[in-house]
Amino acid sequence: MTSAVALHPLATLRRRLTFWYAATLGLTLLLLGSGLFWMIHAQLTKQLNDSLRDATKELVRAARIREMEAATTHGAVVDAVEELHIPDRALYIVNVAGVPVIPDTASHWVRDAAFRAATSLSVTEEVDVGNEHILSIHAERFRLASGQPLVAVVAADQVELADRYAALIAAFGGVALAALVLVAVGGYFLVQKATEPAERSMAYTRRFMADAAHELRTPIAVLRTKAEVALQEPRSEEQYAEALRGMGREAQRLGRVVDDLLMLARADAGERNVERTRFFLDDVVLDAAVSIRTLAHAAGVTLVVDEFEESAVVGDAALVRELMVVLLDNAVKFTAPGGSVRVSVSPAPQPTVVVVDTGSGIPPAQLPHVFERFYRGDASRSRAGGAGLGLSIAQWVAEAHDAQLAITSELGVGTRATLVFPAAVPV
């Protein structure tokens, strides 16, 4: 139930992003379709008007030819209209007064256009004749060889344009619908892929916060309990001192957890600057080994420092020392009394540090998780203390130095940590 509720914001985000992807594409297609429609409309209208002008010229040419062939003008014009066949075009010859010559009847739209063309030489217009029909008319004045002025009129119903528009809209609409469906499906898939890192980050953050709260709760509870017990009744100075020492140990543990959390938080935020200076790895490892030797002696573990060879690396010496303290501390912590921890440094082929212990080892199933924050494996490793942040810090330091940190282990034999740095450029 908690997981479903926690993931709800991401599911809502996915749906919203998918909707906006589809809406953006839909708006783009609408604008593109509108632009294409008006561009094609203008082109088709121009083509229709051009065809009307061409038909008018043909009608004028035919009328003049028939005039030369016939004995009377009227007969020539009649022949021109009756013999000239242009598909889907109505042909008229009208006198300058707007009276039809051939055919002998014409709609008032045709007569009006012819009358206006008689004074302005030519007229091109669109007329809404009702019943969702629009008529395109082109009228052009001309003279026969005899000098008689007439008007040639060609009309066409724009239903052919409507048919083209309908086919165009159907085709474009089908393609747009298919595109929207593809974008919706593909967009949801891409959004899901894009939000997976955020989902993992959120899950990791929730787990990290829960683990941090758990780790901080224990020392805080111990501190509170020790304080309450110490204050319940009068005690001797030694008893108060022992209580304070116990509280000091818990406070120290709490401080280590907080310091580790702060370091990791700064590392995640990129606020922890990593210095880039040349230093000798063997000196840093030896310094860390010296600081851990007392801990090893108290635990009954022998810390063996092999002969080191001078190994130059470039990086942050303080962070590398912290890394080595983590590796040596873990090795000592998980090695039983009487065991040993061995550390060595070699320069070739690359600067390498190896820490080997004779502890109980790590089960194979737990090895892939050892660098996870707050991971401490089975109960025997948990009892060794610590918050399970050391190896996470060690891995971050290694990555910040482009180094490779590997942990191998064999149950009942021990664990081996190998740290390989890039070779420093000679100076």
Domains of the chain: 2-167 (3.30.450.20), 277-420 (3.30.565.10)
- DSSP letters, 79-112, are HHHHH---TT-EEEEEETTS-EEESS---HHHHH
- As a whole-number percent, the residues of the chain with pLDDT over 70 amount to 76
List the one residue out of 136, 103, 97 whose CA is nearest residue 119: 97
Tell whether the model's pLDDT for residue 71 goes beyond 70: no
Among 341, 316, 326, 287, which residue's Cα sits nearest to residue 403? 316
* pLDDT score for 72: 47
pLDDT at 413 over 70: yes
Q: Which of 301, 308, 326, 324 is nearest to 388 (CA)?
A: 326
| Per-residue pLDDT reduced to its tens digit, 11-53 | 777 778 777 877 787 788 778 777 777 777 777 777 777 878 8
Residues 422, 402: Cα–Cα separation, whole Å:
7
Instruction: Please name the residues in contact with 259: beta carbons below 8 A apart, sequence gap of 6 or more.
Output: none
- For residue 113, pLDDT over 80 is answered with yes
Q: Is 293 exposed, middle or buried (0-12, 13-18, 19+ CB in 10 A)?
A: middle
pLDDT (0 to 100) of residue 356: 93
**Contact indicator for 87, 78 with CB cutoff of 8 Å:** no
For 32, what's the count of Cα atoms within 13 Å in the CB-facing half-sphere? 10
For 191-232, the pLDDT digits (tens) are 777 777 767 667 666 766 766 665 667 667 767 887 887 788
Using an 8 Å Cβ cutoff, are 323 and 289 in contact? no
Question: pLDDT tens, 150-166?
Answer: 888 888 877 666 666 66
From residue 346, give the alpha-carbon distance in Å to each of 14, 231, 420. Answer: 52, 56, 10
Question: Is residue 1 scored above 50 in pLDDT?
Answer: no
Tell me if 381 sits within 8 A of 391, measured CB to CB. Answer: no
Please write the tens of the pLDDT for every residue from 320-367. 888 898 899 889 988 999 999 999 998 878 899 999 999 888 888 888
In tens, the pLDDT along 139-153 reads: 888 888 778 888 888
- Residues paired with residue 102 on neighbouring β-strands, in sequence order: 93
Task: Determine contact, residues 220/255, Cβ cutoff 8 Å.
Answer: no
SS3 (DSSP) at 420:
strand
